[in-house]
Amino acid sequence: MITSSDNIPQLVDHLFRHEAGKLVSVLTKIFGPQNIDLAEDVVQDSLIEAMEHWQYKGVPENPSAWLFRVAKNKALNIINREGYQRKYESEVSHFLKSELTLDPALNHLFSDQEIQDDQLRMIFTCCHPAISPDSQIALALKTLCGFSIPEIAKAFLTTEENINKRLVRARQNIRDANVSFEIPRGNELEKRLNTVLETIYLLFNEGYSASKGNDLIRYELCEEAIRLAQIIIADNSIQRKETVHALIALMFINASRFKARQDYDGNILTMEEQERSLWDRQMLDTGIGHLSEASQNNSISIYHILAAISAQYSIVASYEETDWKNILSLYDSLILLDNSPIILLNRAIAVSKVEGATQALAELEKIKSNPAFKSYHSFYSTEAEFYMDMADYKNAIISLEKAIELAPLQSQKELLGKKLKFCGEKIF
């Protein structure tokens, strides 16, 4: 049992990441998609009660079970209020209105298998066509993945105000369209699956390169993203799973390098500096296996290409052996499917390795005016690298200072600070 009150906020945050999406999903089935905000409120109240109760009583042996029990009791209290009973339009509402079936129904709804199924339904509910694509992903990240508004804003390279507006619109669209809490079938399933996978990929990226806190990597977010993708793989109603396998391949291949991305002091290590013996070969092999599964029917998606690019870094014995020409060729194929700012920025890095820093800077110049880069530190740190390759240390310093100003994590600022010092020594 954990007894230190100092650990409780950290534990509650961990539970929020791992359990909130599950709870919101099952509560949405109970209350109906039109009452997602009520489901979120119940989860939030349960977490607040955990924080307060555990400070005085200590943390129970099974905190997750305690949290689920409290959430179930809160749902029961709401259901028993006469004023709420008529508002439920979910498929299980009639079981909840009888005292004879209420307890058995709630116990069934809170079972492990039902919760897993409800998470899949929740993903597809958030990605309903009645909701605009950008609002779909924002809603899924908020309700299912436990993202905060600032985290979602960072993932979209936009403002917190815009994200709030998207969430309000998404919930209103669900009510207006009377969206059902179900997994679609046929062509509708395939259409919505793309948005579902994009949501999972954004979740993984937030864990892979965190936007807040002291840690470069937030492992629990990456684990949650992989888990959600594996729920999709396990569902028999989804026939064509090549793209899902490609995304899982990408996540496993990238996750295999986690232990090598920081030194013992928490400093960031570039791919060139990483000790490859620390890479998790089992995870890498799992990723390569999924990439093979993804290639069965000659289908192609952005995840296929991104996984192939990531594999290129991983299958060679040293950084010096990296096949940059092949990587650039893969990026050239990728921009035909996705020419988003981040993809173009990463392609410029491959250009620098194949065609030189001067040409890479020319590529950056083409995309520099994109509003997404105004607050994106990696654009300026990449620009600085190209200037350093050209021994143009004065311009490198200007770019590094901008990158340091925008970098969200202290570890990132420290790495950039070392490069800034290096450039300063070259000038003076």
pLDDT of residue 222: 85
In a domain? residue 215: no
Q: List Cβ neighbours of 337 (8 Å cut-off, separation of 6 or more).
A: 300, 301, 302, 305
Cα-based angle 112, 125, 20 (whole degrees, multiple of 5):
45
Residue 82 covered by a domain: yes
Q: Which of 58, 84, 110 is the last residue of a domain?
A: 110
- Tell me whether residue 238 is in a domain: no
Spatial CA neighbour of 379 closest among 417, 415, 349, 423: 349
**Cβ 262 vs Cβ 410: under 8 Å:** no
Q: Looking at the domain assignment, is residue 37 inside a domain?
A: yes
**φ, ψ (nearest 5 deg) of residue 425:** -65, -30
Tell whether the torsion through CA atoms of 189, 194, 198 and 200 is positive or negative: positive
Q: Is 388 exposed, middle or buried (0-12, 13-18, 19+ CB in 10 A)?
A: buried
Query: What CATH number should be reported for the domain holding residue 419?
Result: 1.25.40.10
59 within some domain? yes
Asked whether residue 414 is assigned to any structural domain, the reply reads yes
Which parts of the chain have pLDDT scores under 70?
A: 1-6, 82-103, 105, 210-216
> What domain range is 34 assigned to?
1-110
Q: Has residue 223 been placed in a domain?
A: no
In a domain, 425, yes or no: yes
- Residue ending a domain, among 110, 131, 149, is 110
Please tell me the pTM assigned to this model.
0.78
Q: Which of 110, 145, 161 is the last residue of a domain?
A: 110
CB contact at 8 A, 343 and 334: yes
Tell me if 167 sits within 8 A of 135, measured CB to CB: yes
pLDDT of residue 306: 96
The residue whose two tokens read 């919760």 is: 115
- pLDDT at residue 214, as a whole number: 52
Domain count, the chain: 2
Structure confidence at residue 83 (pLDDT): 47
